[in-house]
Amino acid sequence: MLFFSTYLYPFAKRAGAGWRTDLARELELGPQSQLPAIRTMAALSSIDTLTSTYGGPSRIAPARSRSAAQFLQTEADVWIACDDDVQAGEPALRKMVEACRATQGFVTAPCLQRNILRDPRDPGLINIRLDSADLRPELVVGDGYTLCVVTGSGFGLTATHRSAVARMFARYPELIIHDDETDLDYPALFYEAIVDRRWKGEDMSFCMRARESGIAMHALLDVEIVHAGRHVVLEVDAGGYLAMRVFDLD
* pLDDT band at residue 92 using 50, 70 and 90 as cut-offs: very high
* pLDDT band at residue 103 using 50, 70 and 90 as cut-offs: very high
Q: What is the pLDDT of residues 157-174, one digit of tens each?
A: 999 999 999 999 999 999
Give percent of the chain above pLDDT 90: 69
Answer yes or no: are the C-beta atoms of 228 and 83 closer than 8 Å. Answer: no
Distance of CA 222 to the CA centre of its chain: 17
* pLDDT band at residue 113 using 50, 70 and 90 as cut-offs: confident
Query: Does 239 or 100 have the greater pLDDT score?
Result: 100
Backbone angles phi, psi at 106, to 5 degrees: -120, 130
Strand extents, DSSP E, 78-156: 78-83, 86-88, 106-108, 117-118, 125-128, 139-141, 146-149
Q: Which amino acid is at 125?
A: L
Q: What is the pLDDT of residue 141?
A: 93
Burial class from Cβ neighbours inside 10 Å (0-12, 13-18, 19+) for residue 25 reads exposed
State mean pLDDT over 53-60.
Answer: 85
Hey, is 49 helix, strand or coil? coil
Query: Does 141 or 56 have the greater pLDDT score?
Result: 141
* pLDDT band at residue 125 using 50, 70 and 90 as cut-offs: low
State mean pLDDT over 117-141.
Answer: 60
Answer yes or no: are the C-beta atoms of 125 and 243 closer than 8 Å. Answer: yes
* Helix or strand (DSSP H, E) at 166: helix 162-171
Query: Would you mind telling me the total number of residues written for the chain in this entry?
Result: 250
Give percent of the chain above pLDDT 70: 90
Pairing relationship of beta strands 217-220 and 146-149 according to DSSP bridges? antiparallel
Number of H helices, E strands in the chain: 7, 18
Q: What is the pLDDT of residue 132?
A: 44
Judge whether residue 129 has pLDDT over 60.
no
Judge whether residue 55 has pLDDT over 70.
yes
State mean pLDDT over 58-65.
Answer: 91
* Helix or strand (DSSP H, E) at 212: helix 202-212
Query: Does 123 or 81 have the greater pLDDT score?
Result: 81
Cβ neighbours around 136 below 10 Å, total? 12
* Helix or strand (DSSP H, E) at 99: helix 90-103
Contacts 24+ apart (CB under 8 A), 89-95: 89/43, 89/224, 90/43, 90/44, 90/46, 90/47, 91/223, 92/220, 92/223, 92/224, 92/225, 93/40, 93/43, 93/44, 93/47, 94/47, 95/144, 95/145, 95/220, 95/223
Q: What is the pLDDT of the chain when averaged over all its residues?
A: 89
Q: What is the pLDDT of residues 184-193, one digit of tens each?
A: 999 999 999 9
What domains are defined for the chain? 2-110+146-219 (3.90.550)
- Whole-prediction pTM: 0.91
Query: Does 54 or 120 have the greater pLDDT score?
Result: 54
* pLDDT band at residue 101 using 50, 70 and 90 as cut-offs: very high
